[in-house]
Amino acid sequence: MDFYSAYAHGFARVAACTMPVAIADPVTNAATVIAQATECHDEGVAVALFPELCLSGYAIDDLLLQDTLLESTLVAIDDIVEASQDLLPVIVVGAPLLHGTRVLNCAVVIHRGSVLGVSPKSYLPTYREFYERRHFAPGDDRRDAWITLGGVEVPFGPDLIFAASDLPDLKLHVEVCEDMWVPVPPSAEAALAGATVLANLSGSPITVARAEDRRLLVRSASARCLAAYLYAAAGEGESTTDLSWDGQTMIYELGELLEETERFPEGARRSVADVDLGRLRQDRLRQGTFDDNRRTHDGRVAAFRTVEFTLEPPTGDIGLRRKVDRFPFVPDDADRLAQDCYEAYNIQVSGLEQRLRAIGGDSWQPKVIIGVSGGLDSTHALIVAAKAMDRLGRPRSDIHAFTMPGFATGDATKSYATRLSTSLGVTFEVLDIKPAASQMLDDLDHPYSDGESVYDVTFENVQAGLRTDYLFRLANHRGGIVLGTGDLSELALGWCTYGVGDQMSHYTVNSGVPKTLIQHLIRWVIDSGQFESDDSSGEINEVLREILEQEITPELIPTEEGKKPQATEDSVGPYALQDFSLFHTLRGGARPSKIAFLAMHSWQDASLGEWPPGFPEDRRSSYDLATVRRWLEVFITRFFASQFKRSALPNGPKVSAGGTMSPRGDWRMPSDASPTAWLAELENVPRDGS
């Protein structure tokens, strides 16, 4: 496998180009297209899209019907065809072409010295400033047609999909401007027929707010069609007799903006991005209604024609031209992050509210029994419970919080649990589990009971299990439910004690929240003033900030002098990397080698790219490929080995579109599945990072 090649991982580099137009001068415009296509070739671009009627100019009115213009356009196309022989990109240009007795507004698709086909504009605007039917015939009735260009008969019609034989998921469909604005665009039918990359050549004169309308349509088309959508509008050089032009270009994928250029540019501009074809295919595999919709429209969809070509994509490292989030569960944009945190927190709060109402009915108000350690997860679950009680109009004293120190509990975390519980006004107690744990270890004839420093899994789970056992019995005793605190990342990695342990509860509010999001949720609770009305809000926020600063640890093994205290990430890996792997496994179905490729580009240099707002400077790490590979192997192994824990999860709300581990929701797999195939595929990743 050519590991460092973006094309080898199912990406295709595409470009949406705008350029200065010479009015009614096709040969000059062809030279501009060739120059831009050559630059795209040098950048490793597979598809280069140019604006509507870019060879002639869009706003040339009755000149479109002049023989001189039409003949010059054919010469211009021949020039591009000749120049394309040694160029990588599929070049898509706009041109007026004669077909039968009428001129049509066309997209000509050219690759390596040949015209692959021609897609005419189906729907012609004749309203407001537009009067295209004066010059053009609509192309919606030209399905299954042919046209002769350069002495060669080529497919002609809006029913063409251009498919790369050596990049199986690259399937291109082209529509022209107004086609995107109708209720059922040709691109929608093409997507149902298998097209993954949808391209729109546009003239589209600019008026106030039209750019936002275009962006809305392109974004929604890419989301609904589970596709990438390229858009290129006319710009500099077009006639301004009655109109103006802004040269807007953009590339969207599944509703997400990958790239756009400045508007009203001077000179040529292009948006260039690597679209993830594998991601598109995976989404279509999962969203069964997409194919159901194809069945509904099968009469037209089945009639699409496929035009095959050989792309010959570049090999080796050409970089990756797209943003890859270090934290796919955590937005980098401050406003988006605040919105996500607002929604996630309230999903958790409302989920707990409903569970308490459903259990209690009209006759009983169940208490909330929760173990608090002073760590991130139990802290967040506690402030979710506090808000739920507020919204239910119940006293926070109905939350019974217990901190249960064991053999390795530190003074700092114990103090955090104490201060937070006290400042929130919940019922709080300390329940020392060491005597019971010592008794159990003695009953088990464990070496620790004889004074040996044996800190094995039994030693750890005796403590974890006793804490949960006490909580369940306390729930019986005090008339309540045990609130689970474990998070999505721990469930993915199996970092929880099964059965009588932190894997189990009556209801769990964090099971849909990854570890990397928890800290931002807590920070949002502080910044948004969720407890401002409390007399002790200052103390609440202060202790929350202190909790955010500590290292993640289960505190189950006593720290020996001169040795590093037990740290979770030393065992299961950095949660930043493991959440990265989790997202791309769960949401995208990505191969291990692709996950490693993406992680390499995202994490190899801490100084490059964006970080979530508020992320501490001193925690901004980088990871080389060897480190990424090492922890990805741990992720795969633990992910498969831990399914039995996820198969028996208690109820809890889904929070992120990235997914959840619930066996009743996003993720279902047999508990005895083997990771062998995934580990074998991981061998495509260089071990030494070279």
Residues taking part in catalysis:
52, 121, 177
Q: Concatenate the DSSP letters of all residues of 577-639 into one string.
A: HHHHHHHHHHTT---HHHHHHHHHHHHS-TTSS---TT--GGG-----HHHHHHHHHHHHHHH
SS3 199: strand
245, 207 contact by CB (below 8 A)? no
188, 221 contact by CB (below 8 A)? yes
The one-character DSSP state at 573 is: -
The one-character DSSP state at 136 is: B
Cβ burial of 290 (10 Å; 0-12, 13-18, 19+) is middle
Q: Which two tokens stand for residue 677?
A: 């195939």
Q: Concatenate the DSSP letters of all residues of 1-42 into one string.
A: --TT-TGGGTEEEEEEEE----TT-HHHHHHHHHHHHHHHHH
Q: Which two tokens stand for residue 431?
A: 């329940």
Calpha distance 314→363 (Å, rounded):
70
Return the half-sphere exposure (C-beta side, CA atoms, 13 A cut-off) of residue 568: 19
With tokens 């329940």, the residue in question is 431
- Residues 502, 503, 509, 514: is their CA dihedral positive or negative? positive
**Which CB contacts under 8 angstroms, 24+ apart, belong to 247-252?**
247/18, 247/51, 248/18, 248/204, 248/206, 248/211, 248/214, 249/16, 249/17, 249/18, 250/16, 250/214, 250/215, 250/218, 251/14, 251/16, 251/275, 252/218, 252/219, 252/221, 252/222, 252/223, 252/228
Helix (H) or strand (E) holding 302: none
- Residues 353, 340, 543, 575: is their CA dihedral positive or negative? positive
3-state helix, strand, coil in the chain (%, to 5): 40, 15, 40
